[in-house]
Amino acid sequence: MFIRLALMAGLAGLSVSTIAADKPTADALVAKNLEARGGADKLRAIKSLNATGKMRFGGGMEAQVSAYAIAPDKSRFEFSLQGLTAVNAWDGRQAWAINPFQGRREPQKVSDDDAKGLVRAADIGGALLDWKAKGSTLEYLGTEDIDGTDAHKLRVTFKNGDSQVLFLDPDHFLEIRIEDHQFIRGQEQVNTSDLGEYAQVDGVYFPMEQGQMQIDSITLNTPIDAAKFTLPVAKP
């Protein structure tokens, strides 16, 4: 119940609407979700995003994280711990990474399979926004109990065959869990994140708790240097 309670606390000023409990449609749930997040027009108006926060691990260890995105095709994620910083980025054509934790201090190209998360991150509006125009398919999967909440389940299947299952709170229609299904070198990998503590940023609601990650700040539509996303030239 903790996720739902945190969700309600963060949405004290948001009006509650309902969908008929008998047979909600996928399209109706998408419409409610977009409305709850701030509206499709506001989501489409987001051209860039910069988020900072922290990732917590066992033993009290904590890493600093930063994320950058320029819609529709640039993203970068930084992970800093004990004086080292790993970088994963995509410039719209090529993904690359620096991982000093594995001894790779120079930028290296990343395969298309390993870049899938970065490509998805550049879609700032999310999988449900304009899903049909993106060539995705949508399916309602009924409900599932998530910590005492009968969450609505929507599956979005992307053009490349990967998919995302979104669990929507039945009162506010915001995501409280997301399952990412990706095929990496022929094997399906599933990553699950619980979402909560929604906060409003420039009229749009974002989950400030995302799995192990706590988001401290989000800035929208401020200039981001495109060079951040470009594969650096190797040092001679």
Where b means 16+ CB within 10 Å and e means fewer, 159-198 reads eeebbbbbbbbbbbbbbbbbebbbeeeeeeeeeeebbbbb
Rounded CA-CA distance 150/198 in Å is 19
Where b means 16+ CB within 10 Å and e means fewer, 113-139 reads eebbbbbbbbbbbbbbbebeeeebebe
Flag whether pLDDT at 14 surpasses 50: no
Q: What is the pLDDT of residues 140-184, one digit of tens each?
A: 999 999 999 999 999 999 999 999 999 999 999 999 999 999 999
Rounded CA-CA distance 50/228 in Å is 12
Rounded CA-CA distance 177/124 in Å is 17
Q: What is the pLDDT of residues 92-110, one digit of tens each?
A: 999 999 999 988 899 999 9
Helices (H) and strands (E) in the chain, counts: 4, 13
Flag whether pLDDT at 5 surpasses 60: no
**Class assignment of domain 2-224?**
mainly beta
**Confidence band for 236, pLDDT divided at 50, 70 and 90:** low
User: Residues with Cβ < 8 Å from 31, sequence gap 6 or more?
Assistant: none
User: What are the domain boundaries of the chain?
Assistant: 2-224
The model's pTM is: 0.87
- Closest by CA to 128, choosing from 167, 70, 77, 89, is 167
